[in-house]
Amino acid sequence: MRRFFAPVQLTHAPARELHNGSFVAYAEVPARAETILRAIGGAEAPEDRGEAPIAAVHAPDYLAFLKEAPARWAAAGRSGDAIPYTFPVVGRRALRLDRIDALMGRYGFDATTPITADTWAAAYGSAQTALAATHAVFGGERAAFALGRPPGHHAGADYCGGYCHLNTAAIAAQAARDAGHPRVAILDIDYHHGNGTQDIFWDRGDVFYASVHADPATDYPFYWGHADETGEGEGRGATLNLPLPHGTRLDAFRVAQSRALDAISRFGPGLLVVSFGADTWQGDPISRFSLTTSDYALLARDIAGAGWPTVVVMEGGYAVDALGANVASFLSGF
């Protein structure tokens, strides 16, 4: 299975995040990628396919913000990483976006996702891995893996959050659409709901989004991922949310994933993008499901059994010592 990673992705290394009321060490560390690389025996550098496939998903003002925010933050006299701390409450009129402080809250939905001077380059590299894996599948590979780090599924068309800046799964899915696949599906099995991916395709009928995740009644990102969110307009019925409770083990997870795969089968995609997070592992420090390392091979086998050309993009997973084995187990299922 071909796999892709660009060394520049290691440069995004924020110091701290706001977590449950305190500043703590950032969980989405470069060592995550290093341990995965060791476990899977390295990866190819992706070709640079430029910004157009990223701009096919993300708003131009948001991309400009991501590039400029660190310099504007520094120009305001700040020494630490840029972190939003004030947010435009839903529905407010007459937003004034001239201050970096206001921009941070406009383009970020949480205080857990700092932007550093290296973030744009790292996120760009991460997006290129998703494109490389997608093109590998276009070229006839049965499945390919994008070691997307920073991850992507919490990033919307015009916002960042949840350690995510560019939505790698959405960029892969859109690239497949633009290459002529009429229907593309995304299966998101990260512990957290992929709110950004859902938002991007919310009112579209050409990209099906199915997610198995921790119930947003108890877990981040709270505002998205409830079972009654099913899409709107052309996208009505093309979003499927399957929230599960704390403590979920393989049996219940597998049943939910099968429901998602059945719905995707009815949709009939020509290509599948899997947003894979290993934060469903039993020892994950920020999550509360109970999957084991060997469970991931079984889950992947169920996905592979459906037979679609498949692009796997890396999302979360924060138990760094176990992460490599968990990812290797998942990929072995293909």
Q: List residues binding ligand Q9C (CB under 6 A).
A: 19-20, 112, 151, 154, 162-164, 190, 192, 220, 277, 279, 286, 315-316
CA distance 173 to 285: 30
The structure tokens 């049996």 sit at: 251
Catalogue the long-range contacts made by 318-321 (C-beta closer than 8 Å, 24 or more residues apart).
318/27, 318/28, 318/32, 318/279, 318/284, 318/285, 318/286, 318/287, 319/278, 319/281, 319/283, 319/284, 319/285, 320/29, 320/31, 320/32, 320/35, 321/35
Instruction: Give the separation between CA 215 and CA 246, rounded to whole angstroms.
Output: 8
Interface pick for Zn ion out of 199, 229, 279, 284 (rule CB under 5 A) = 279
Write out the binding residues for Zn ion, residues 187-246 only, by CB under 5 A.
190-192
70 near Zn ion (CB under 5 A): no
Tokens of 246: 């704390």
Tokens of 162: 């949840």
Q: Of 113, 156, 162, whose CA–CA distance to 12 is shortest?
A: 113
Q: Which does 220 bind (CB under 5 to 8 A by kind): ligand Q9C, Zn ion, none?
A: ligand Q9C
Of the residues 154, 165, 181, 213, which is catalytic? 154
Residue 162 contact among ligand Q9C, Zn ion, none, beta carbon within 5 to 8 Å by kind: ligand Q9C
Q: Which stretch binds Zn ion (CB under 5 A): 39-47, 196-204, 242-250, 312-320?
A: 312-320
Listed ranges 29-37, 44-52, 220-228, 274-282: which one lies at the site for Zn ion (CB under 5 A): 274-282
Q: Is 153 a catalytic residue?
A: no
Q: What is the DSSP string of 266-285?
A: HH--SEEEEEE-STTBTT-T
**Residue 108 interaction partner, one of Zn ion, ligand Q9C, none, beta carbon < 5-8 Å per kind:** none
- H helix intervals, the chain: 30-40, 52-55, 60-75, 100-107, 119-138, 168-178, 195-201, 250-267, 293-305, 320-332
The 3-state secondary structure of 188-221 reads ECCCCCCHHHHHHHCCCCCEEEEEEEECCCCCCC
- Residue 211, phi then psi, degrees to nearest 5: -135, 135
The option from Zn ion, ligand Q9C, none interacting with 163 (CB < 5 to 8 A, set by class) reads: ligand Q9C
Is there binding between residue 125 and Zn ion (CB under 5 A)? Answer: no
* CA-closest candidate to residue 221, choices 327, 316, 92: 316
CA–CA separation, 309 vs 303, rounded Å? Answer: 10
Residue 163 or 201: which CB sits closer to ligand Q9C?
163
Residue 141 CB, nearest approach to Zn ion (Å): 26
Structure tokens at 325: 């084995």
Smallest distance, ligand Q9C to C-beta of residue 17, A? 7
DSSP code, position 246? T
Task: Pick the closer one to Zn ion by CB: 148 or 316.
Answer: 316
Stretch that binds Zn ion, among 125-133, 238-246, 259-267, 270-278 (CB under 5 A): 270-278
Minimum distance from CB of 184 to ligand Q9C (Å)?
Answer: 21
Smaller CB distance to ligand Q9C: residue 46 or 317?
Answer: 317
Among 33, 316, 319, 322, binds Zn ion (CB under 5 A): 316
Q: Is 154 in the site for Zn ion (CB under 5 A)?
A: no
Stretch that binds Zn ion, among 11-19, 168-176, 272-280, 302-310 (CB under 5 A): 272-280
Rounded least distance, CB 169 to ligand Q9C, Å? 11
With CB under 5 A as the contact rule, which of the stretches 50-58, 165-173, 217-225, 313-321 interacts with Zn ion? 313-321
Binding residues for Zn ion, rule: CB under 5 A, are 190-192, 277, 279, 316
Q: Would you name the residues annotated as active-site residues?
A: 154
